[in-house]
Amino acid sequence: MEKMKLLMISNSTNAGEPYLKYPIERIGEHLKGISEVIFIPYAAVTFSYAEYERKVQARFDEIGVRVRSIHREKNPLKAIREAQAICVGGGNTFALAKKMQQQGLMRAILRKVKQGTPYVGWSAGSNVCCPTICTTNDMPIVEPESFRAIGAVRFQINPHYLDANPEGHAGETREQRIEEYIEANPRRYVVGLREGCMLLLEGGTLSLIGSRPMRIFKKGCEPREVVAGDDLSFLL
């Protein structure tokens, strides 16, 4: 835990802003001194992995970091073992998990980040940092081997967390969905990470970054809000 350097971002893009614009400065700080990242594009579904690689590279050019997509590697596990840093993009979490599991990347990444290799993920890339992918917002368009994920942190993330329920919509709110999860998984914390926010784990300390509060869920406890600067050690 002391060695791990994880940056878990709720969303890639704030409404009305260019792709990855709001978090790129923080990503640059996280990757200081690093010239290349291994990028995992497997959450892409409606566009190609190569297109995803180009899209991320265009933004990472601003911080002087080369993006090397793992889909081009003959030996993906070797690429992870030798990576200076690992970056996992957003998209469909089930598609991402299936491909990562097929290639044995979950365990390989966990071993690597425990050694101190920096990790950056947004949306689905944050989901797979958790013990499972069960608190994703995505449809299960494909079936992974299991819901198990990397397990670099002990809590679950719900990215793009929303308080509001659209007018005229009679379905469950996001909070009600998470309450179902904690009922079935009473030992697990879930954090509702609102858009424009991220979690940084470094030096054994977990910090919330962003202007919006984060909502904390656990069975038997009333949901509560925490803000940047609050002590989040209970999640570790």
Which residues carry out catalysis? 123, 138, 160
Phi-psi region of 92 (alpha: psi -120 to 50; beta: other; left: phi over 0): beta
> Where in 10-84 does DSSP place strands (E)?
36-40, 66-69
First to last CA, the chain: 9
Q: Where are the beta strands (DSSP E) in the chain?
A: 5-9, 36-40, 66-69, 86-88, 119-122, 156-159, 190-193, 198-202, 205-209, 214-217, 224-226
- How far is it, in rounded angstroms, from Cα 29 to Cα 160? 23
Rounded Cα gap, residues 130 and 145, in angstroms: 16
Q: How far apart are CA 46 and CA 27, in angstroms?
A: 25
Do 41 and 49 contact (CB within 8 A), yes or no? yes
Q: How far from the centroid of its chain's Cα atoms is residue 54's Cα?
A: 20
Report the C-alpha gap between 73 and 79 in whole angstroms: 7
